[in-house]
Homo-oligomer: A and B are copies of this chain.
Amino acid sequence: MSLTLANAWVLTMDRGLTEFRNGWVRIEGETIAALGNGPAPEGGEVLDMGGDVLMPGMVNPHCHLPMSLFRGLGEDVDDRLFRYILPLERKFVSPAMVRAGTALSALESIMGGVTTIADMYYFETEIAEVMDRAGLRAVLGQTLADFAAPDHASFDEGFALCDALADRLAGHPRLIASIAPHAPYSTGPAVLERAARWHDDHPGTRVQIHLAETEAETAWARREHGMSTTALAAKSGILRPGTVAAHCLLMDDADIALLAETGAGVAHNARSNGKAGRGMARVEDMRRAGIPVGIATDGPMSGNTLDLFAQFGPVSIFAKILGHSRKPLPAAEVVRMATLEGARALALDDRIGSLEPGKKADIIRISLDAPRLHPVYDVYSMLVFAAQPADVHDVMVAGHWLMRNRQVLTLETDRVLSDALQVAGQFRAEMNAIDQGQT
């Protein structure tokens, strides 16, 4: 049985940015069968899209889903990681907590047109259950770290969790297991080497890592290993096709060239990096070197939202400020980063990231109802500088609707919110206790 989405402004986001101004997309099962311009072909179910924009579901290649429960907590404080985040995580992160936070983040992601998410957290098999129910596509990364992690007391235990995750997700049509060494400084090169071997031994999985994020990290790598953190990670073998490195803020020309050679992708967290006061990643230089760079939200404790639209402004203006010109990173390229390049960064561009025959039917519909979107001289500029999550009208993953008419179909909104608020209720008291203990 086929479904045709007709009377749409189809942005395929393929390499040539093919557009069908009066277009249609035909879906068979979970796959895009055909697309084109003009009247929709007959047969099967036909849905009129009312002239709205259809584009690929967006890809968020780096976040920490359960951390939506911490959103807005511990703002404007420099030592927040060690003062708040790690103590809170040690105390509160549990299977129930990650399920509640993941559901809240999944809801927000669907409502904002994000259909593929790379997550990096703890109790990742629990996260997988929620993501399976939500109907989203995901790369799910079990974190390995040397600071007392909530779900493993040793790296051996951490690797065992990765094994279990890979077993659980083997053959899943939308969920992919990933190993996620936290960062070079928090694992050390031996663990990175072991993680690289783990990836060799688990075909089809992915790798995630935080890289070149802080000055302390850079200083550590120089002091302890006499090289940059990028060089150290590359030497360990962990940077490779199928690895997505988050942040990549502190990179010189040699680091960028090295990263390009490895075949790894980058998750650019512009708003989160800016909010931390850390600066602006050299995205245009990375792209010129051939590195696939996607746009990511980072965890909601750092970036507050799972909203990719809210990243577009910072991503665009960072590139223009670094280039001292209006020209760098035109709007169409920002949308490409949020779709095909994000898919490339996750080594998923064989199946998603653009609307092309044979690819999975991960499709979002952007309503053009809001007056603030008009006039539309340049549809990509409209998406980058004017569109917002509220404009996302329908969301489909693998041929299944996750949202229609702004109603999420796979999660119960009220239940998700009340579960989240119940878990979050404990955190404020703990924050106060931390603050009192420190004053």
Residues on A lying within 8 angstroms of B by beta carbon are 69, 71-73, 75-78, 80, 104, 107-108, 111-112, 271, 274-280, 303-307, 310, 313-314, 316-318, 320-321, 323-328, 330-331, 370-372, 374-378, 381-382, 385-386, 388-390, 413, 416-417, 420-421, 424, 427-428, 431
A376 x B321 contact (CB < 8 A)? no
* 17 A-B interface contacts by CB (under 8 A): A72-B376, A73-B378, A76-B331, A77-B326, A108-B371, A274-B313, A274-B318, A274-B321, A275-B320, A277-B324, A303-B385, A304-B386, A371-B417, A371-B420, A372-B389, A377-B424, A388-B389
A119 to B326, CA, bound (A): 24
B78 x A428 contact (CB < 8 A)? no
Which residues from chain B contact A331 at a C-beta distance below 8 Å? 75-76
A264 to B112, CA, bound (A): 41
CB-nearest residue of chain B relative to A388?
A: B388
B75 x A330 contact (CB < 8 A)? yes
CB-nearest residue of chain B relative to A390?
A: B390
Which residues from chain B contact A107 at a C-beta distance below 8 Å? 371
Give the distance to chain B from A41, nearest Cβ to Cβ, in Å: 31
CB-contact partner of A416 in B304, B370, B371, B381, under 8 A: B371
B375 x A71 contact (CB < 8 A)? yes
Which residues from chain B contact A78 at a C-beta distance below 8 Å? 325-327
A427 x B377 contact (CB < 8 A)? yes
Which residues from chain B contact A385 at a C-beta distance below 8 Å? 72, 275, 303-305
CB-contact partner of A76 in B80, B303, B327, under 8 A: B327
A276 to B420, CA, bound (A): 40
CB-contact partner of A313 in B77, B271, B280, under 8 A: B271
Give the distance to chain B from A382, nearest Cβ to Cβ, in Å: 6
